Structure 1
């Protein structure tokens, strides 16, 4: 999956130990969530073979002619907002207004549910003929992340906060998801400085000789190499707001100057779209829908960037 490309610069935490409520792992998780906002997660049981198949299928899709990929662009999507699904070409998304549009391509999925709720689909995606194995891998890995990894991690975060393990569960009966495969071209791929907007993100990096992801943690920017067997987890603005700033959503960017292209797989996880959240410790309640819609308006309409991008220099 992810080969070792350097010394870990972030905490390395075992999901198996968290699920077993081992005190040392929970203490490590608390420290990472309070001070780093990013950590490596190991012992997560995601299928290595499935991840490799997904990465290869995504690479093949991004190699298709642009005219073919545009058949699955935002203007072809039927859900609301239409920017929540489908293909976006190079320089189509702006994650930081000062940096301008990012030099990357991406393809977004979600959890497809009937009805007209925001961010629920349906999706217009490439079929098996055009992109062999891509959707099958994407949805299979989605199931592994959402049904196994995320519930254990969510309950561990609650436990680390000295809350009941199921404290967050009522807001995740039907969680909301933006699932993304991103492609960064050789020598010039970028994603501007930003924070993620949701509860948390699970990120799988393609193993390459040098890191392209940079994270601002403990007062400095750090290059984040891959670690064999690990995925990355970072907290989002919604969780920071939910915990009244006790847990941190951390700025990050991609600067990809390596001689080969880079593919990454991300799962941006939010509560139920109709959830009304009261911050732990007090403060005005807010809804998942308002948080997500404001963020998508900032990215796609106002071009002001993602998350707290406007606060980052």
Structure 2
């Protein structure tokens, strides 16, 4: 039977019946050890919030390029605002990715300690200064995205409680990690992929693992997300389920559990012939929190596979690598174009 990403009814996690709650924990434990991906329904984020944020995402990406560039993430150093097409390469050997995005996080003032200390992805949000027809529309965009962000970050706390229980830990184990946690949301738009593009080179997002602890992804009704299944050596298509979240573990969780739990490779290839919209929220955690092997994730006397690291150090290195790869690719194209022009001029 072909491998699939299971759908778990998370409403049972809130049950007062311990056996019902434990059944959810057991399903999550199984998936974390197989491929680190599962979908949840029955959560506490209202469908109206999900539909509203998808609406505003589509409205934003339909703005003129100049309006989107007015809030370019290049305007700041804390990763907030618009990211243009082909800005990132997550998979070595592929072309810059066929997606554009908009980064949002906790809206911190410039006198907040995180901002003053230049902590990971921490500072005020950046909003478009033009494009929306009325101030009310801009306010709707801000409110719709932030209300959704806050509700989904709260859900991430519940998911981490379930993960703690799945590891035979107290449900409060991740509370310190979540205290002052950095969480980054990306509105993502995948244009229609040209039908003659080479799938080996063209990606919506290249094959990669996530940098943080967990990711909660809301998809629209267009597919394209694929998860690598090492047991069958095939890609699993993650079919969109209305209202569901795709939950996956990131590299921090893999370090924490000494690879007992898996941060798995995934990618997006949009062959649908339609635009695709999705919204991931990446839970990085408190930047100063030190992630080291959970004691019950290794046998007595067994060494940890990873040295301790702070959240900030681990996540920052992932960002630097993927964006640096895209920058080097563009510089290579520019050098090749310059060399071609020089040859033509001398002919």
Verify same fold: TM over 0.5.
yes
SS in 1 for 2:204: strand
Is residue 2:98 matched to residue 1:98? Answer: no
Q: Distance in 2 between matches of 1:56 and 1:131?
A: 13
Task: Give the length in aligned residue pairs.
Answer: 292
Greater relative contact order structure (CA < 8 Å, 6+ sep):
1
**Structure 1: which 5+ residue stretches go unaligned?**
1-6, 306-313
Structure whose residues are more often strand by fraction? 1
CA deviation map 1:118-138 (0-9, x unaligned) = 311122222673745222111
Task: Tell me which structure has the larger Cα radius of gyration.
Answer: 2
Asked if 1:212 corresponds to 2:235, the answer is no
State the partner residue of 2:197.
none
Q: Distance in 2 between matches of 1:275 and 1:49?
A: 34
Deviation at 1:101, TM superposition (A): 0.5
Matches within 5 A, 1:287-302: 287-302=310-325
* Residue of 141, 145, 150 corresponding to 1:143: 150
Equivalent position of 1:185 in the other structure = 191
**Does the alignment pair 1:24 with 2:23?**
yes
In structure 2, the partner of 1:308 is: none
Partner of 2:339: none
- Scaled by the length of structure 2, what TM-score is found? 0.79
- SS state at 2:269 partner: strand
Shift of the alpha carbon at 1:268? 0.4
1:60 aligns with 2:62: no
Shift of 1:97: 2.4
CA distance in 1, matches of 2:327, 2:257: 25
Q: Write the distance in 2 (CA, Å) between the matches of 1:304 and 1:232.
A: 30
Please say if residues 87 and 97 of structure 2, whose CA atoms lie closer than 8 Å, have aligned partners that are also in contact: yes
- Segments of structure 2 that go 5 or more residues without pairing to the other structure are 195-202, 296-302, 329-347
Q: Deviations over 1:64-121 (max 9, x none)?
A: 11121111112212xxx44x21111111111212112001110001112323223111
Deviations 1:233-263 (A, max 9, x none): 0110110011110000111111112222111
Q: TM-score, normalised by structure 1?
A: 0.87
Structure with greater proportional helix content: 2
Instruction: Give yes or no for the alignment of 1:86 onto 2:85.
Output: no
CA RMSD of aligned residues (A): 2.1
| Secondary structure of residue in 2 paired with 1:30 | helix
